[in-house]
Structure 1
Amino acid sequence: MRGTDEEDERLKLIRRYVTPDRRYLKLGGVLLGMGGRDRAKFMRKLGQAAGEISPRELGLLLDGGWRERKTAAWLIAVAGRSEFRDRLGELLLASEGPYAGQAYCVALATFGTSADADPLVAYLDRYLPRHDLYYDQTAALGALLLLDAKLGADHAARFLTPNGLWQQWIEGPPPKDRDAHDSYREFIGQLCSFADESAEHCQKSRHGVTFRRR
Protein backbone atom coordinates (compact mmCIF):
# COMPACT_ATOMS: atom_id res chain seq x y z
CA MET A 1 0.00 0.00 0.00
CA ARG A 2 2.84 2.33 0.85
CA GLY A 3 4.38 1.78 -2.59
CA THR A 4 1.07 2.62 -4.26
CA ASP A 5 0.68 5.76 -2.19
CA GLU A 6 4.20 6.90 -3.07
CA GLU A 7 3.59 6.27 -6.76
CA ASP A 8 0.37 8.26 -6.63
CA GLU A 9 2.25 11.09 -4.93
CA ARG A 10 5.01 10.91 -7.52
CA LEU A 11 2.48 11.21 -10.33
CA LYS A 12 1.05 14.32 -8.69
CA LEU A 13 4.54 15.76 -8.36
CA ILE A 14 5.22 15.06 -12.02
CA ARG A 15 2.10 16.95 -13.01
CA ARG A 16 3.02 19.83 -10.72
CA TYR A 17 6.75 20.20 -11.34
CA VAL A 18 7.94 18.16 -14.33
CA THR A 19 5.47 18.36 -17.19
CA PRO A 20 3.94 21.89 -17.03
CA ASP A 21 4.92 23.68 -20.25
CA ARG A 22 7.14 20.63 -20.95
CA ARG A 23 9.61 21.96 -18.40
CA TYR A 24 11.73 18.81 -18.40
CA LEU A 25 12.51 19.25 -22.10
CA LYS A 26 13.62 22.87 -21.72
CA LEU A 27 16.01 22.36 -18.82
CA GLY A 28 19.31 22.33 -20.67
CA GLY A 29 20.67 23.92 -23.82
CA VAL A 30 17.20 25.10 -24.85
CA LEU A 31 17.36 27.63 -22.00
CA LEU A 32 20.19 29.48 -23.70
CA GLY A 33 17.99 30.24 -26.68
CA MET A 34 15.28 31.84 -24.57
CA GLY A 35 14.93 35.58 -24.44
CA GLY A 36 12.67 38.36 -23.30
CA ARG A 37 9.39 37.48 -21.63
CA ASP A 38 9.73 33.75 -22.23
CA ARG A 39 13.03 33.66 -20.37
CA ALA A 40 11.78 35.81 -17.50
CA LYS A 41 8.60 33.77 -17.13
CA PHE A 42 10.43 30.45 -17.21
CA MET A 43 12.99 31.63 -14.60
CA ARG A 44 10.27 32.95 -12.33
CA LYS A 45 8.26 29.74 -12.41
CA LEU A 46 11.36 27.59 -12.00
CA GLY A 47 12.50 29.60 -9.00
CA GLN A 48 9.09 29.49 -7.40
CA ALA A 49 8.87 25.72 -7.93
CA ALA A 50 12.32 25.26 -6.37
CA GLY A 51 11.12 27.15 -3.31
CA GLU A 52 7.87 25.24 -3.01
CA ILE A 53 9.01 21.64 -3.33
CA SER A 54 10.05 19.86 -0.14
CA PRO A 55 13.17 17.72 0.33
CA ARG A 56 11.02 14.60 0.60
CA GLU A 57 9.28 15.43 -2.66
CA LEU A 58 12.62 15.98 -4.35
CA GLY A 59 13.68 12.56 -3.12
CA LEU A 60 10.60 10.99 -4.67
CA LEU A 61 11.38 12.61 -8.01
CA LEU A 62 14.98 11.44 -7.84
CA ASP A 63 13.68 7.89 -7.44
CA GLY A 64 11.74 8.22 -10.71
CA GLY A 65 12.70 8.20 -14.37
CA TRP A 66 15.03 10.52 -16.22
CA ARG A 67 12.43 13.27 -16.65
CA GLU A 68 11.78 13.45 -12.92
CA ARG A 69 15.46 13.19 -12.03
CA LYS A 70 16.47 15.89 -14.48
CA THR A 71 13.82 18.28 -13.19
CA ALA A 72 14.60 17.52 -9.54
CA ALA A 73 18.30 18.18 -10.11
CA TRP A 74 17.51 21.59 -11.58
CA LEU A 75 15.20 22.46 -8.69
CA ILE A 76 17.97 21.39 -6.32
CA ALA A 77 20.45 23.59 -8.19
CA VAL A 78 18.19 26.63 -8.11
CA ALA A 79 17.44 26.25 -4.40
CA GLY A 80 21.07 25.46 -3.58
CA ARG A 81 20.11 22.31 -1.67
CA SER A 82 23.62 20.98 -1.23
CA GLU A 83 22.36 18.28 1.13
CA PHE A 84 21.57 16.37 -2.06
CA ARG A 85 25.24 16.41 -3.14
CA ASP A 86 25.86 12.75 -2.31
CA ARG A 87 22.64 11.57 -3.93
CA LEU A 88 23.36 13.46 -7.14
CA GLY A 89 26.90 12.10 -7.14
CA GLU A 90 25.56 8.56 -6.82
CA LEU A 91 23.14 9.06 -9.69
CA LEU A 92 25.84 10.60 -11.88
CA LEU A 93 28.25 7.75 -11.19
CA ALA A 94 25.56 5.13 -11.82
CA SER A 95 25.02 6.66 -15.29
CA GLU A 96 21.83 4.67 -15.79
CA GLY A 97 20.91 6.50 -18.97
CA PRO A 98 21.18 9.73 -20.94
CA TYR A 99 19.44 13.09 -20.45
CA ALA A 100 19.66 13.59 -16.66
CA GLY A 101 23.43 13.58 -16.05
CA GLN A 102 23.99 17.09 -17.36
CA ALA A 103 21.55 18.38 -14.73
CA TYR A 104 23.49 16.63 -11.96
CA CYS A 105 26.67 18.31 -13.21
CA VAL A 106 24.97 21.72 -13.25
CA ALA A 107 23.76 21.24 -9.68
CA LEU A 108 27.20 20.21 -8.43
CA ALA A 109 28.79 23.18 -10.20
CA THR A 110 26.29 25.60 -8.64
CA PHE A 111 27.11 24.35 -5.13
CA GLY A 112 30.63 25.52 -5.87
CA THR A 113 32.81 23.75 -3.26
CA SER A 114 35.73 21.35 -3.43
CA ALA A 115 33.42 18.59 -2.18
CA ASP A 116 31.42 18.99 -5.38
CA ALA A 117 34.48 18.22 -7.47
CA ASP A 118 34.79 14.73 -5.98
CA PRO A 119 31.81 13.10 -7.75
CA LEU A 120 32.80 14.76 -11.03
CA VAL A 121 36.34 13.38 -10.73
CA ALA A 122 34.95 9.94 -9.85
CA TYR A 123 32.70 10.04 -12.91
CA LEU A 124 35.51 11.01 -15.26
CA ASP A 125 37.80 8.35 -13.80
CA ARG A 126 35.18 5.69 -14.46
CA TYR A 127 33.74 6.79 -17.79
CA LEU A 128 36.53 8.43 -19.78
CA PRO A 129 38.09 4.99 -20.31
CA ARG A 130 34.74 3.85 -21.73
CA HIS A 131 34.04 4.35 -25.41
CA ASP A 132 30.69 2.56 -25.40
CA LEU A 133 28.98 5.27 -23.33
CA TYR A 134 28.74 8.81 -24.63
CA TYR A 135 26.58 10.46 -22.02
CA ASP A 136 27.95 13.12 -19.70
CA GLN A 137 31.72 13.18 -20.04
CA THR A 138 31.65 16.66 -21.60
CA ALA A 139 29.25 18.01 -18.97
CA ALA A 140 31.31 16.54 -16.13
CA LEU A 141 34.55 18.00 -17.47
CA GLY A 142 32.90 21.36 -18.10
CA ALA A 143 31.54 21.44 -14.54
CA LEU A 144 34.92 20.41 -13.12
CA LEU A 145 36.74 23.10 -15.09
CA LEU A 146 34.19 25.65 -13.88
CA LEU A 147 34.72 24.60 -10.26
CA ASP A 148 38.48 24.78 -10.72
CA ALA A 149 38.14 28.33 -12.04
CA LYS A 150 35.97 29.32 -9.06
CA LEU A 151 38.15 27.64 -6.45
CA GLY A 152 41.59 28.25 -7.93
CA ALA A 153 42.05 24.47 -8.02
CA ASP A 154 43.35 22.01 -10.61
CA HIS A 155 41.19 18.90 -10.26
CA ALA A 156 40.83 18.64 -14.03
CA ALA A 157 44.52 19.01 -14.86
CA ARG A 158 45.44 15.33 -14.80
CA PHE A 159 42.66 14.48 -17.23
CA LEU A 160 43.98 17.01 -19.75
CA THR A 161 47.62 15.96 -19.84
CA PRO A 162 49.00 14.76 -23.20
CA ASN A 163 47.79 11.21 -23.80
CA GLY A 164 45.70 11.51 -20.64
CA LEU A 165 42.22 10.09 -20.19
CA TRP A 166 40.55 13.04 -21.92
CA GLN A 167 42.72 12.77 -25.03
CA GLN A 168 42.19 9.01 -25.14
CA TRP A 169 38.44 9.46 -24.91
CA ILE A 170 38.43 12.22 -27.53
CA GLU A 171 40.34 10.02 -29.95
CA GLY A 172 37.98 7.10 -29.44
CA PRO A 173 34.64 6.62 -31.21
CA PRO A 174 32.47 8.47 -32.06
CA PRO A 175 34.34 11.47 -33.59
CA LYS A 176 34.65 14.41 -31.18
CA ASP A 177 36.08 17.93 -31.11
CA ARG A 178 39.45 17.56 -29.37
CA ASP A 179 39.78 21.28 -28.57
CA ALA A 180 36.31 21.95 -27.19
CA HIS A 181 36.84 21.53 -23.43
CA ASP A 182 36.82 25.30 -22.85
CA SER A 183 33.47 25.55 -24.63
CA TYR A 184 32.12 22.82 -22.33
CA ARG A 185 33.09 24.93 -19.32
CA GLU A 186 31.42 27.97 -20.87
CA PHE A 187 28.26 25.99 -21.62
CA ILE A 188 27.92 24.66 -18.07
CA GLY A 189 28.71 28.15 -16.78
CA GLN A 190 25.82 29.60 -18.78
CA LEU A 191 23.45 26.99 -17.38
CA CYS A 192 24.66 27.74 -13.86
CA SER A 193 24.04 31.44 -14.48
CA PHE A 194 20.47 30.61 -15.47
CA ALA A 195 20.06 28.68 -12.21
CA ASP A 196 21.51 31.64 -10.29
CA GLU A 197 19.07 34.06 -11.91
CA SER A 198 16.15 31.73 -11.24
CA ALA A 199 17.22 31.55 -7.59
CA GLU A 200 16.18 35.18 -7.18
CA HIS A 201 12.59 33.92 -7.25
CA CYS A 202 13.30 31.15 -4.72
CA GLN A 203 12.95 32.63 -1.27
CA LYS A 204 10.25 30.85 0.71
CA SER A 205 8.89 27.34 0.74
CA ARG A 206 5.23 26.52 1.20
CA HIS A 207 6.24 24.79 4.43
CA GLY A 208 6.99 28.12 6.06
CA VAL A 209 10.78 27.88 6.05
CA THR A 210 12.38 31.00 4.65
CA PHE A 211 15.73 30.62 2.93
CA ARG A 212 17.93 32.29 0.38
CA ARG A 213 20.34 30.47 -1.85
CA ARG A 214 23.93 31.06 -0.70
Structure 2
Amino acid sequence: MRQAHEDTELRALVRRYVTPERRYLKLGGGVLTMPDPAYGRFARALGEDAGLVTPHEIGTLLEGGWRERRTAAWLIAVSRRTEFRERLGELLLESEVCCVGPAYCVALARFGTPRDAELLAAYLDRYLRRPDLDYDQIVVMGALVFIGLDLGEDHAARFLVPDGLWHQWLRDATHVQPTTDPATCLSLIRRLCAFADECAGPR
Protein backbone atom coordinates (compact mmCIF):
# COMPACT_ATOMS: atom_id res chain seq x y z
CA MET A 1 0.00 0.00 0.00
CA ARG A 2 1.36 3.39 -0.97
CA GLN A 3 1.46 6.13 1.67
CA ALA A 4 0.79 9.73 0.64
CA HIS A 5 3.19 11.18 3.20
CA GLU A 6 6.12 9.37 1.58
CA ASP A 7 4.99 9.20 -2.06
CA THR A 8 5.13 12.47 -3.97
CA GLU A 9 2.95 11.27 -6.87
CA LEU A 10 0.22 10.01 -4.56
CA ARG A 11 0.43 13.09 -2.35
CA ALA A 12 -0.20 15.34 -5.36
CA LEU A 13 -3.24 13.29 -6.35
CA VAL A 14 -4.59 13.42 -2.81
CA ARG A 15 -4.38 17.20 -2.87
CA ARG A 16 -6.05 17.30 -6.28
CA TYR A 17 -8.88 14.80 -5.82
CA VAL A 18 -9.22 13.56 -2.24
CA THR A 19 -8.91 16.37 0.30
CA PRO A 20 -10.55 19.44 -1.34
CA GLU A 21 -13.57 20.30 0.84
CA ARG A 22 -12.81 17.04 2.71
CA ARG A 23 -14.34 15.13 -0.18
CA TYR A 24 -13.27 11.73 1.11
CA LEU A 25 -15.35 12.21 4.27
CA LYS A 26 -18.51 13.28 2.44
CA LEU A 27 -18.55 10.51 -0.14
CA GLY A 28 -21.05 7.94 0.99
CA GLY A 29 -24.08 8.36 3.23
CA GLY A 30 -22.96 11.81 4.38
CA VAL A 31 -23.49 13.35 0.98
CA LEU A 32 -27.17 12.43 1.09
CA THR A 33 -27.77 14.81 3.98
CA MET A 34 -25.87 17.79 2.59
CA PRO A 35 -27.99 20.93 2.24
CA ASP A 36 -28.22 23.02 -0.91
CA PRO A 37 -26.33 24.80 -2.36
CA ALA A 38 -23.37 22.82 -0.94
CA TYR A 39 -24.86 19.59 -2.31
CA GLY A 40 -25.03 20.97 -5.83
CA ARG A 41 -21.48 22.34 -5.71
CA PHE A 42 -20.16 19.06 -4.38
CA ALA A 43 -21.93 17.02 -7.08
CA ARG A 44 -20.72 19.29 -9.88
CA ALA A 45 -17.12 19.22 -8.67
CA LEU A 46 -17.14 15.43 -8.35
CA GLY A 47 -18.63 15.07 -11.82
CA GLU A 48 -16.01 17.38 -13.32
CA ASP A 49 -13.15 15.52 -11.67
CA ALA A 50 -14.58 12.17 -12.74
CA GLY A 51 -14.33 13.36 -16.31
CA LEU A 52 -10.82 14.75 -15.92
CA VAL A 53 -9.02 12.09 -13.87
CA THR A 54 -6.86 9.77 -15.96
CA PRO A 55 -6.81 5.97 -15.73
CA HIS A 56 -3.25 6.16 -14.42
CA GLU A 57 -4.30 8.57 -11.67
CA ILE A 58 -7.19 6.32 -10.67
CA GLY A 59 -4.87 3.33 -10.57
CA THR A 60 -2.47 5.23 -8.33
CA LEU A 61 -5.25 6.28 -5.96
CA LEU A 62 -6.39 2.66 -5.70
CA GLU A 63 -2.94 1.78 -4.36
CA GLY A 64 -3.31 4.20 -1.44
CA GLY A 65 -5.22 4.00 1.84
CA TRP A 66 -8.94 4.09 2.47
CA ARG A 67 -9.34 7.80 1.69
CA GLU A 68 -7.66 7.48 -1.69
CA ARG A 69 -9.48 4.26 -2.57
CA ARG A 70 -12.88 5.60 -1.57
CA THR A 71 -12.38 8.69 -3.70
CA ALA A 72 -11.08 6.66 -6.65
CA ALA A 73 -14.03 4.28 -6.50
CA TRP A 74 -16.45 7.19 -6.60
CA LEU A 75 -14.65 8.75 -9.55
CA ILE A 76 -14.95 5.37 -11.26
CA ALA A 77 -18.63 5.09 -10.36
CA VAL A 78 -19.54 8.53 -11.66
CA SER A 79 -17.63 8.14 -14.92
CA ARG A 80 -18.51 4.44 -15.31
CA ARG A 81 -14.91 3.40 -15.97
CA THR A 82 -15.73 -0.26 -16.49
CA GLU A 83 -12.08 -1.08 -17.20
CA PHE A 84 -11.64 -1.02 -13.40
CA ARG A 85 -14.36 -3.63 -12.78
CA GLU A 86 -12.04 -6.53 -12.01
CA ARG A 87 -9.74 -4.41 -9.86
CA LEU A 88 -12.67 -3.20 -7.76
CA GLY A 89 -13.88 -6.77 -7.40
CA GLU A 90 -10.45 -7.82 -6.17
CA LEU A 91 -10.22 -4.96 -3.69
CA LEU A 92 -13.71 -5.66 -2.37
CA LEU A 93 -12.94 -9.33 -1.87
CA GLU A 94 -9.61 -8.57 -0.17
CA SER A 95 -11.24 -6.04 2.20
CA GLU A 96 -7.75 -4.83 3.09
CA VAL A 97 -8.88 -1.45 4.42
CA CYS A 98 -12.05 -0.20 6.08
CA CYS A 99 -14.57 2.41 4.94
CA VAL A 100 -14.32 1.67 1.21
CA GLY A 101 -16.69 -1.23 0.51
CA PRO A 102 -19.78 0.92 -0.13
CA ALA A 103 -17.88 2.93 -2.76
CA TYR A 104 -16.85 -0.25 -4.57
CA CYS A 105 -20.46 -1.41 -4.42
CA VAL A 106 -21.81 1.81 -5.93
CA ALA A 107 -19.39 1.49 -8.84
CA LEU A 108 -20.27 -2.17 -9.49
CA ALA A 109 -23.98 -1.43 -9.13
CA ARG A 110 -23.69 1.39 -11.68
CA PHE A 111 -21.91 -0.92 -14.12
CA GLY A 112 -24.81 -3.29 -13.56
CA THR A 113 -23.80 -6.33 -15.63
CA PRO A 114 -23.94 -10.04 -14.81
CA ARG A 115 -20.17 -9.94 -14.23
CA ASP A 116 -20.63 -7.26 -11.56
CA ALA A 117 -23.22 -9.47 -9.91
CA GLU A 118 -20.69 -12.33 -9.94
CA LEU A 119 -18.10 -10.19 -8.19
CA LEU A 120 -20.58 -9.17 -5.50
CA ALA A 121 -21.75 -12.76 -5.07
CA ALA A 122 -18.14 -13.90 -4.61
CA TYR A 123 -17.85 -11.47 -1.71
CA LEU A 124 -21.03 -12.79 -0.11
CA ASP A 125 -19.90 -16.39 -0.60
CA ARG A 126 -16.81 -15.58 1.44
CA TYR A 127 -18.00 -13.15 4.09
CA LEU A 128 -21.48 -14.43 4.88
CA ARG A 129 -19.60 -17.43 6.24
CA ARG A 130 -17.87 -15.10 8.71
CA PRO A 131 -20.45 -13.92 11.28
CA ASP A 132 -17.55 -12.64 13.37
CA LEU A 133 -16.76 -9.99 10.75
CA ASP A 134 -18.86 -6.85 10.36
CA TYR A 135 -17.56 -5.81 6.97
CA ASP A 136 -19.76 -4.82 4.01
CA GLN A 137 -22.16 -7.75 3.79
CA ILE A 138 -25.23 -5.53 4.02
CA VAL A 139 -24.25 -3.01 1.37
CA VAL A 140 -22.98 -5.76 -0.93
CA MET A 141 -26.35 -7.49 -0.67
CA GLY A 142 -28.03 -4.19 -1.53
CA ALA A 143 -25.87 -3.81 -4.64
CA LEU A 144 -26.56 -7.39 -5.71
CA VAL A 145 -30.31 -6.91 -5.36
CA PHE A 146 -30.04 -3.58 -7.22
CA ILE A 147 -28.34 -5.21 -10.21
CA GLY A 148 -30.81 -8.09 -10.19
CA LEU A 149 -33.78 -5.75 -10.34
CA ASP A 150 -32.21 -3.80 -13.19
CA LEU A 151 -31.41 -6.92 -15.22
CA GLY A 152 -34.60 -8.76 -14.32
CA GLU A 153 -32.59 -11.60 -12.79
CA ASP A 154 -32.59 -12.58 -9.12
CA HIS A 155 -28.87 -12.91 -8.48
CA ALA A 156 -29.43 -12.77 -4.71
CA ALA A 157 -31.94 -15.62 -4.57
CA ARG A 158 -29.51 -18.38 -3.62
CA PHE A 159 -28.35 -16.40 -0.58
CA LEU A 160 -31.88 -15.60 0.56
CA VAL A 161 -33.44 -19.06 0.60
CA PRO A 162 -34.70 -20.16 4.03
CA ASP A 163 -31.71 -20.99 6.21
CA GLY A 164 -29.39 -19.88 3.38
CA LEU A 165 -26.16 -17.99 3.95
CA TRP A 166 -27.88 -14.63 4.46
CA HIS A 167 -30.19 -15.89 7.20
CA GLN A 168 -27.40 -17.88 8.82
CA TRP A 169 -25.22 -14.77 8.91
CA LEU A 170 -28.02 -12.66 10.41
CA ARG A 171 -28.64 -15.33 13.02
CA ASP A 172 -25.00 -15.73 14.01
CA ALA A 173 -23.69 -12.16 13.63
CA THR A 174 -24.59 -10.69 17.01
CA HIS A 175 -23.63 -7.16 15.89
CA VAL A 176 -26.32 -7.10 13.15
CA GLN A 177 -30.04 -6.53 13.59
CA PRO A 178 -31.72 -9.88 12.88
CA THR A 179 -34.54 -8.05 11.08
CA THR A 180 -32.21 -6.59 8.45
CA ASP A 181 -33.76 -7.38 5.08
CA PRO A 182 -32.64 -6.92 1.47
CA ALA A 183 -35.06 -4.01 0.96
CA THR A 184 -33.19 -2.06 3.65
CA CYS A 185 -29.89 -2.93 1.99
CA LEU A 186 -31.23 -1.86 -1.40
CA SER A 187 -32.44 1.55 -0.25
CA LEU A 188 -28.99 2.99 0.48
CA ILE A 189 -27.45 1.71 -2.76
CA ARG A 190 -30.35 3.10 -4.76
CA ARG A 191 -29.89 6.56 -3.23
CA LEU A 192 -26.11 6.53 -3.69
CA CYS A 193 -26.44 5.45 -7.32
CA ALA A 194 -28.95 8.24 -7.87
CA PHE A 195 -26.40 10.71 -6.50
CA ALA A 196 -23.75 9.30 -8.87
CA ASP A 197 -26.21 9.77 -11.72
CA GLU A 198 -26.62 13.41 -10.72
CA CYS A 199 -22.87 13.92 -10.67
CA ALA A 200 -22.49 12.36 -14.11
CA GLY A 201 -25.11 14.67 -15.58
CA PRO A 202 -27.06 14.07 -18.81
CA ARG A 203 -25.75 11.28 -21.01
SS at match of 2:7: helix
**Partner in structure 2 of residue 206 of structure 1:** none
Which of the pair has the greater relative contact order for Cα pairs under 8 Å at 6+ separation? 1
- Whether the 8 Å CA contact 1:129–1:165 is kept in 2: the answer is yes
- Whether the 8 Å CA contact 1:51–1:79 is kept in 2: the answer is yes
Return the alpha-carbon distance in structure 1 between the equivalents of residues 170 and 74 of structure 2. 28
Residue type at the aligned position of 1:118: E
Residue type at the aligned position of 1:20: P
1:11 aligns with 2:11: yes
SS at match of 2:145: helix
Unmatched 5+ residue regions in structure 2?
none
Matched residue count: 199
Superposed displacement of residue 35, structure 1: 3.1
- Whether the 8 Å CA contact 1:10–1:60 is kept in 2: the answer is yes
Q: Percent identity?
A: 56
**Partner in structure 2 of residue 181 of structure 1:** 182
CA 1:23–1:85: 2 relative to 1, 3 Å: same
CA RMSD of aligned residues (A): 1.7
Return the alpha-carbon distance in structure 2 between the equivalents of residues 131 and 177 of structure 1. 12
Unmatched 5+ residue regions in structure 1?
202-211
TM-score (norm 2): 0.94
Return the alpha-carbon distance in structure 1 between the equivalents of residues 18 and 192 of structure 2. 18
TM-score (norm 1): 0.89
- Deviations 1:57-103, CA, capped at 9 Å, x for gaps: 00000000011000000000000100000000000000113200110
**Partner in structure 2 of residue 197 of structure 1:** 198
Return the alpha-carbon distance in structure 2 between the equivalents of residues 49 and 177 of structure 1. 40
Superposed displacement of residue 154, structure 1: 1.1
Return the alpha-carbon distance in structure 1 between the equivalents of residues 168 and 178 of structure 2. 12
**Partner in structure 1 of residue 22 of structure 2:** 22
SS at match of 2:201: helix
SS at match of 1:154: coil
